[in-house]
Structure 1
Amino acid sequence: MTTVTTASYDDLSTVKRRYADGVLTLSLNRPESRNAMSILMVNELLLSLEQAENDGAVRIIVLRGENGHFCSGGDIKDMAAARMQPETAGIDAIAEVNARFGELCLAYARTPLAVIVALEGAVMGGGFGLACIADVALASSSTLFRLPETSIGLVPAQIAPFLVERLGYSEAKRLAVTGGHINAQEALSLRLIHELHVDANALDAAVHANIHKILQCAPHAVAASKALMARARLEAPQALIRDAAAVFSHAARSVEGMEGGMAFLQKRKPSWVAANNEAQ
């Protein structure tokens, strides 16, 4: 069973929000600019994540874009406006805008909730970065990826760590120095995305299929697994043995762990509703 609530989320200025049965879909909604990411959109995405994490019913966030495009990168107008602001008290307006986007990437990369990204059309710059932080990245064959920063005299600053994490140092560096253009098939070969689908209908079906798979898993176990794997990228295996054992023991003794074990023995599906509503 999965968590079913009547929670609702109103649309924001630049983000459409739809909640149903544990899944919050956030659609970037600036179709006139192919969903270019403004500072307002950054703040609305951060607000949406904070509310979802505090909600208790949301288990999955799906990120996608309106009108056939995911995201064409950062909004150049925001940077131009920041450039016009005088530097006062050591505050650099351009750096502040850029750092705020970095906070967005980090927040979605570290969230205990599962994150699915559904990609179509333009996936550029900051949109490319969001694709890299997702737990599950799905794309249609129409998707075109580009890392254009160096071709316009800029640097893929905040997304660099996530590019290296997803693609590896060599491929991330190659794309950065060439102003990378890759199609959906190349993205699949590089493992930037996990699944490639022929059209928007197939992409929607894949989103629902992955939602179903995730909802079969225990929410606290998913969160703990994500946190442990994030550490495993940076720490030697021997340094994690005792901490990993403690994480495993906590899971095994938890309500979720006991429910999962009983469900396995009784040859039935576990009820994560009951487990999720009790202290872990």
Structure 2
Amino acid sequence: MSEDPYVMFEVDGAVAIVTLNQPARRNPLSPKQAAELLAILARVRDDRSLRALVLTGAGKSFCAGANLDDMAAHALPGKSLGEATFGTMEALSNPVILALQELPVPVLTALNGGAVGGGAGLALAADVVIAARSAYFYLPSMPRLGLVPDLGASWFLRQQVGRARAMGLTLLGDRLDAEQAAQWGLIWKCVDDADLHAEALALARRLAALPAHAALETRRADRAAGSASLAQQLAYEAARQRELIDSECFAEGVRAFGGRRDPVFPGR
């Protein structure tokens, strides 16, 4: 009897829906889950009919982070647990986060429950995050295990809520509920649990209607802004406008504006 996939994949029009699929175990991180995610993200990257991606979890949890029993079970002969974990992160977990950040379509996380440890990094790797009111972020790594947050959680938190809040969440290990996360600017919005699926699909369809280069261009501009001086960012913006204004997307936007209609941008 074949084993259920750890990650489910379905398509709704131009939207790919990716669901972490071990609800009985609260969707923990694992090498198998990461390998399946990488294969699905490659499929989305190569399928030009897909123009947005929704990432969510089955059941009442988004992702419970690393399972300590699973970590011990994957220890390799002749290697310490730390060395084995490092190898898995380098080969599988970290590439998932980079693949999400490099995907040529916008990514939306529909946070249906707890995002714990590395699960927080996975959730925050999206371009837009919306959360059910019952959802939360929880970083027990340092106060409970003496470990740093991983899967990009330490980077995303510092970038999005600043040093004071990132340090407090990391050292104290308090849960950050969805409403507070929205107030802090960590996520786009918080919605009632019953509305999460419909809200996520509605937003994903809006994202799918954007110009094909929207995700990559916006991410690159954001990254540049994070390290540039104002003068450098002004120069970056001017250089991108020089190229993008000569594109078919801009021409379509001008036609739509003149015709008082929504633009219909070409596919990727």
- Equivalent residue number for residue 120 of structure 2: 128
Q: Show structure 2 runs of 5+ residues with no match.
A: none
Amino acid at match of 2:85: I
Structure-2 separation of matches of 1:144 and 1:221: 29
Q: Provide, for residues 119-164 of structure 1, a one-character-per-residue CA deviation record: whole Å limited to 9, x for no partner.
A: 1222101111122222111111111321111212322134211221
Aligned 8 A contact 1:129 1:162 in 2: yes
Distance in 2, Cα, partners of 1:85 & 1:235: 46
Equivalent position of 2:156 in the other structure: 162
Map 1:23-102 onto structure 2 (within 5 A).
23-87=15-79, 92-99=83-90, 100-102=92-94
Corresponding residue number in structure 1 for 2:129: 137
Amino acid at match of 1:39: P
Runs of 4+ in 1 over 6 A off after TM superposition: none
Q: Tell me if 1:176 matches 2:170.
A: yes
| Distance of 1:128 and 1:73 partners within structure 2 | 8
Residue matched to 1:215: 208
Give matches, 1:176-215, under 5 Å.
176-199=170-193, 201-215=194-208
- For these two proteins, the number of residue pairs brought into alignment is 262
RMSD, aligned α-carbons: 2.2
User: 2: distance between equivalents of 1:85 and 1:116?
Assistant: 39
Partner of 1:231: 224
* Structure 1 unaligned regions, length at least 5: 1-10
Paired amino acid for 1:17: F
Q: Distance in 1 between matches of 2:14 and 2:52?
A: 6
TM-score by length of 2: 0.89
Query: Match of 2:242, SS?
Result: helix
Alignment deviations for residues 94-116 of structure 1 (CA, whole Å, 9 cap, x no partner): 21123332222222123331111
Deviation at 1:12, TM superposition (A): 7.4
What TM-score does the superposition give when structure 1 sets the normalisation length?
Answer: 0.86
1:242 pairs with one of 216, 219, 235:
235
Identity of aligned residues (%): 29
Question: What is the SS of the residue equivalent to 2:49?
Answer: coil
* Equivalent position SS for 2:227: coil
1:262 to 255, 262, 267: 255
CA gap 1:216/1:157 in 2 versus in 1, 3 angstroms = closer
